[in-house]
């Protein structure tokens, strides 16, 4: 019973948003007096959401109180704001339908009910099912010039953990067990261990120290460590328990006669300039692997001489919907590197969806994953 108790906040949030969503649809479609109030609420929600994106999501978050319950309050506000846009469009179309065409109005009324209900059911699936459905993803990356002793090298990756209200220690422990089942040569962590300062960073590090790999555990830090002001602490505490976070650093790992030059950088702010002053990281006599939370560094990293970049940050869009075969998600608005393998001459990028969520506890079309990267010739 206790195992399900942690889902209670998700259920409360889900019911709250569902109630507000359907109440607004009914009020706008039946009563003019309530319509004014609802339109005002909609405009306010839209204005707040727009302001949040213009000012920068995390800038807004840092101005608000922190803590587990505040995370749920913010999630409810964001979910309601996002749902309101589609709802308003449907209702606008419905209200503009001529009253003297009863058959057409009935069809559009039914369509509007379906459209108003769809986000509720999709959100429920994303919150209660897909958000916790952690998958093992294996990807094979081929490099014709890969040193023979690196052929078949296995790299396990965890990223975007966001341990806290929306991802439990039990779920993280399950992901770590999945990574260990890969029997990797090297375990990689590519940032965003937590979402904000009040989240359990020490518990996250303690659990991550349970990763098992022949060459150890290495990683880089993400934007949320920077926002929370815990970069130095995370690196020091990680080092104490056997996790090496590379902060604009590199280390050489020997596998037989081959050298893997592993480099890691602190979060590279979106928009660049990227990897400035870090041209010295690649080694001409080694296979160069760069850990970067932000995947947008890839073109610069390729020019500097890194053969492989491993990243996260995007959550694979977190809420990903395909329209006529084209993906639609928030990540598409700010990066071309959302999920999967990308290639440039002499270099490849892998972007993982990661484990956790941020903003709202929902994943849809972008299930959480633990990745195994296998290097081959």
Higher pLDDT, 339 or 52: 339
Taking the CA atoms of residue 165, residue 155, residue 191 and residue 271 in that order, the dihedral angle to the nearest 10 degrees is -130
Burial status of residue 59 (CB atoms within 10 A of its CB: 0-12, 13-18, 19 or more): exposed
Scan for tokens 């020091």, then name that residue. Answer: 236
Q: Kindly indicate the confidence band of residue 103, based on its pLDDT and cuts at 50, 70 and 90.
A: low
The CA distance from 19 to 255, in Å, is: 58
The CA distance from 299 to 344, in Å, is: 8
Burial status of residue 119 (CB atoms within 10 A of its CB: 0-12, 13-18, 19 or more): buried
Cis preceding-peptide flag for 273 (omega within 30 of 0): yes
Nearest CA among 224, 377, 237 for reference residue 315: 224
* 199-203, 229-233, 270-274: least confidently modelled range: 270-274
Per-residue pLDDT, 81: 60
Nearest CA among 110, 119, 29, 111 for reference residue 80: 119
Nearest CA among 243, 262, 337, 261 for reference residue 299: 337
Q: Cβ(120)–Cβ(80) under 8 Å?
A: no
The CA distance from 18 to 12, in Å, is: 10
Q: Cβ(173)–Cβ(207) under 8 Å?
A: yes
The continuous run of DSSP H or E covering 187 comes out as strand 186-190
| 74-95 burial: b if 16+ Cβ within 10 Å, else e | bbbbbbbbbbbeebbebbeebe
Q: Over the chain, what is the mean pLDDT? A: 82
Nearest CA among 138, 244, 135 for reference residue 182: 138
Q: Cβ(113)–Cβ(315) under 8 Å?
A: no
Per-residue pLDDT, 198: 87
Per-residue pLDDT, 2: 46
Q: Cβ(260)–Cβ(286) under 8 Å?
A: yes
Instruction: Please count the other Cβ atoms lying within 10 Å of the Cβ belonging to residue 55.
Output: 11
Per-residue pLDDT, 272: 82
Per-residue pLDDT, 132: 77
Q: Kindly indicate the confidence band of residue 320, based on its pLDDT and cuts at 50, 70 and 90.
A: confident
Given a cut of 50, is residue 308 above it in pLDDT? yes
- Give me 311's structure tokens: 């990243």
* 81-90, 175-184, 242-251, 299-308: least confidently modelled range: 81-90
Instruction: Please count the other Cβ atoms lying within 10 Å of the Cβ belonging to residue 129.
Output: 12
Given a cut of 50, is residue 1 above it in pLDDT? no
* 54-63, 270-279, 287-296, 365-374: least confidently modelled range: 54-63
């Amino acid at each position: 019973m206790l195992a399900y108790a942690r889902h209670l906040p998700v259920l409360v949030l889900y019911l709250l948003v569902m109630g507000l969503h359907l109440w607004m649809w009914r009020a706008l479609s039946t009563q003019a007096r309530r319509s004014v109030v609802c339109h005002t609420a909609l405009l306010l929600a839209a204005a707040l959401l727009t302001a949040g994106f213009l000012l920068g999501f995390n800038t807004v978050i840092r101005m608000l109180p922190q803590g587990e319950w505040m995370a749920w309050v913010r999630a409810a506000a964001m979910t309601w704001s996002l749902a309101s846009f589609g709802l308003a469009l449907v209702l606008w179309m419905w209200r503009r339908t001529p009253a003297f065409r009863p058959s057409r109005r009935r069809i559009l009324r039914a369509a509007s009910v379906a459209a108003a209900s769809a986000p509720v059911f999709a959100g429920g699936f994303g919150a209660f099912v897909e958000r916790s459905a952690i998958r093992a993803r294996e990807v094979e990356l081929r490099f014709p010039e890969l040193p023979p002793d690196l052929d078949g090298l296995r790299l396990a990756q965890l990223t975007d953990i966001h341990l806290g209200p929306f991802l439990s220690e039990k779920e993280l422990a399950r992901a770590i067990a999945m990574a260990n089942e890969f029997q990797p040569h090297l375990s990689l962590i590519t940032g965003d261990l937590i979402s904000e300062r009040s989240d359990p960073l020490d518990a996250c590090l303690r659990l991550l120290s349970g990763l098992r790999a022949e060459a150890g555990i290495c990683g880089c830090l993400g934007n949320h460590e920077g926002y929370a002001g815990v970069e130095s602490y995370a690196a020091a505490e990680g080092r104490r328990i056997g996790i090496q976070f590379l902060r604009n650093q590199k280390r050489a790992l020997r596998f037989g006669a081959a050298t893997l030059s592993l480099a890691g950088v602190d979060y590279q702010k979106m928009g660049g300039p990227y990897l400035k002053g870090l041209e010295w990281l690649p080694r001409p006599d080694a296979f160069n692997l760069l850990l970067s939370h932000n995947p947008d560094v890839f073109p610069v990293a390729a020019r500097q001489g890194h053969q492989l970049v491993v990243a996260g940050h995007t959550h694979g869009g977190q809420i990903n919907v395909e329209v006529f075969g084209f993906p639609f998600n928030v990540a598409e608005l700010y990066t071309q590197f959302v999920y999967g393998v990308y290639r440039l001459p002499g270099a490849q990028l892998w972007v993982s969806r990661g484990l956790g969520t941020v903003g709202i506890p929902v994943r849809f079309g972008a299930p959480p994953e633990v990745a195994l990267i296998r290097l081959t010739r």
